[in-house]
């Protein structure tokens, strides 16, 4: 690739501001940030004291005045000021002492994002010192990142199961012909596990514990062999720290209604696909992206229920940000992909 003078002195940056993680792609350097979408801030002064991994490490250890928060909820910016602080920190990290100009920042957004959401993101970007921001359809980004050829004349379908959202997108020859986001994802599975542990074992556990248990024992299909894991938490009866043994059957039962909801939402979207796309999808199947797609047996379950071939994308949680990177190398496509 020939590097122009312009590309040497500027930073083209693509940002996937996810509910659980923020990933940043810097043109020519690849994925330079992949950290939790978390901030620690001092409540009285509202001053940010730690961001990302550092904020996560403070969880459970910080003083009472320090609150650990995510500025996003179900894929939507819930606090523009804090989202701005998060963006600012990660964009600075991505620049890594290089040029201070940031010609362009691409931000992946849901196709049905409201004006208020766009405004919140624009505000956040301005807080982060970025004035040239372009919104890109997350559905297009994830399709490119999942490895589909943008010139392909046949329809490609990708399902991105994130932490707060599930997006179904179909693309034909550079055009997004269908894109739908449902506000359900991996976080809902964690919540179901937290509630189950509370009711079955009288133990209050934090979200990270619930997520760990999901990753260790969670499964979208019924398992024959039972596995167990230990969890520590606070007893709802005595208030003291306690431990419990959790098994994979109770995890399966706890998450099953949510898994079924995600699968149903995907199937509803498949039914809404334009007819010209349906034939291609029937022949080619679909690609799964997003970290939530890593739930054991999810691909198998979706394939069985939708009667389609299902393939898992390579490092599925990075597909959106990789797709933004692909856009930088295809200016025609990039011009067409910009929403606002």
Ligand X SMILES: Nc1ncnc2c1ncn2[C@@H]1O[C@H](COP(=O)(O)OP(=O)(O)OP(=O)(O)O)[C@@H](O)[C@H]1O
Q: Which residues bind Mg ion (CB under 5 A)?
A: 18, 162
Is the CB of 280 or the CB of 323 nearer to ligand X? 323
Cβ neighbour number for residue 147 with a 10 Å cutoff: 17
Tokens in use for 51? Answer: 């961001």
180 near ligand X (CB under 6 A): no
Give the C-alpha separation, 233 to 299, whole Å. Answer: 32
CB of 161 to Mg ion, least distance (A): 9
Instruction: Report CA 212 to chain centroid distance, whole Å.
Output: 17
> With respect to ligand X, which residue has the nearer C-beta, 156 or 165?
165
Nearest CA-CA partner of 287 in 322, 332, 248, 240: 322
C-alpha span between 66 and 54 (Å, rounded): 13
Return the residues of window 16-55 that contact ligand X according to CB under 6 A.
18-21
Q: Between 28 and 206, whose beta carbon lies closer to ligand X?
A: 206
Binding test (CB under 6 A) with ligand X, winner from 162, 233, 323, 325: 162
Chain centroid, CA 158 distance in Å: 14
Rounded to a whole number of angstroms, the minimum distance from the CB of residue 238 to ligand X is: 30
Alpha-carbon span 295 to 219, nearest angstrom: 6
Strand ranges in the chain using DSSP code E only, listed in sequence order: 12-17, 21-26, 30-36, 39-42, 47-51, 66-69, 72-73, 76-77, 104-109, 133-137, 156-161, 166-172, 175-182, 203-204, 228-235, 241-247, 286-289, 310-312
Under the binding rule (CB under 6 A), the answer on residue 164 touching ligand X is yes
Residues 254-293 that bind ligand X (CB under 6 A): 290-292
The residue among 18 and 36 lying less far from Mg ion, judged by its C-beta, is 18
- For residues 156 and 165, which CB has a smaller minimum distance to Mg ion in the complex? 165
Instruction: Find the distance separating the first CA and the last CA of the chain, reported in whole Å.
Output: 29
Give CA angle at 255 (76, 237), nearest 5°.
95
Binding partner of 249, given Mg ion, ligand X, none, CB within 5-8 angstroms per partner class: none
Q: State how far the Cα of 303 lies from the Cα of 211, in Å rounded to an integer.
A: 24
Q: Is 179 in the site for ligand X (CB under 6 A)?
A: no
CB of 127 to ligand X, least distance (A): 20
Q: Which is nearer to ligand X, 100 or 208 (CB)?
A: 208
Shortest-Cβ-distance residue relative to ligand X: 186
**Site membership for ligand X, residue 163 (CB under 6 A):** yes
8 A C-beta contact, residue 186 and residue 166 = no
- CB-wise, 248 or 269, nearer to Mg ion? 269
Q: Are strands 104-109 and 133-137 parallel, antiparallel or unpaired?
A: parallel
Q: Considering only residues 14, 52, 145, 185, which one is a binding residue for ligand X as defined by CB under 6 A? A: 185
Work out what residue 139 binds among Mg ion, ligand X, none; the CB cut-off runs from 5 to 8 Å by kind: none
Residue 13 CB, shortest distance to ligand X, in Å, is 17
Which of Mg ion, ligand X, none lies near 325, with the C-beta cut-off 5 to 8 A by kind?
none
Residue 249, both tokens? 């059957």
80 vs 280 by CB, closer to ligand X: 80
The least CB distance from residue 57 to Mg ion, in Å, is: 23
Which of 11, 79, 211, 280 lies at the binding interface for ligand X (CB under 6 A)?
Answer: 211
Q: Give the CA-trace dihedral at 223, 298, 147, 291, to 10 degrees.
A: -100
- Residue ranges in contact with ligand X by CB under 6 A: 18-21, 75, 162-165, 185-187, 211, 214-215, 218, 290-292, 294-295, 317
């Amino acid at each position: 690739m020939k590097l122009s003078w312009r590309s040497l002195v500027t930073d083209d940056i693509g940002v996937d501001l996810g509910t659980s993680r923020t990933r940043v792609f810097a043109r020519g350097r690849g994925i330079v940030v992949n950290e939790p979408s978390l901030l620690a801030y001092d409540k009285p002064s509202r001053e940010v004291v730690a961001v990302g991994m550092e904020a996560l490490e403070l969880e459970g250890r910080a003083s009472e005045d320090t609150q650990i928060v995510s500025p996003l909820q179900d894929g939507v910016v819930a606090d523009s000021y804090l989202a701005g602080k998060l963006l600012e920190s990660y964009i600075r990290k991505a620049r890594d002492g290089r040029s201070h100009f940031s010609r362009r920042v691409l931000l992946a957004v849901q196709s049905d994002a409201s004006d208020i959401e766009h405004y919140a993101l624009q505000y956040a970007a301005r807080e982060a010192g970025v004035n040239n921001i372009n919104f890109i359809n997350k559905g297009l980004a994830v399709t490119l990142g999942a490895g589909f050829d943008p010139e392909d004349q046949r329809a490609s379908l990708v399902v991105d199961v994130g932490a707060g959202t599930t997006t179904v997108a179909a693309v034909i020859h550079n055009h997004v012909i269908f894109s739908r986001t449902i506000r359900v994802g991996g976080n809902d599975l964690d919540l179901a596990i937290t509630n189950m542990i509370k009711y079955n074992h009288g133990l209050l556990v934090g979200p990270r514990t619930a997520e760990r248990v999901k990753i260790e024992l969670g499964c979208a299909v019924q398992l024959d062999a039972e596995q167990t894991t230990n969890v520590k938490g606070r007893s709802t009866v005595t208030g003291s720290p306690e431990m419990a043994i959790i098994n994979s059957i109770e995890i399966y039962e706890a998450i099953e209604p949510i898994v079924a909801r995600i699968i149903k939402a995907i199937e509803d979207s498949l039914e809404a696909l334009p007819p010209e796309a349906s034939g291609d999808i029937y022949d080619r199947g679909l690609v799964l992206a997003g970290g939530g797609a890593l739930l054991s047996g999810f691909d198998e379950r979706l394939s069985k229920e939708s009667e389609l071939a299902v393939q898992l994308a390579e490092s599925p949680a990075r597909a959106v940000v990789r797709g933004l990177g692909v856009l930088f190398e295809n200016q025609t496509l990039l011009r067409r992909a910009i929403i606002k």
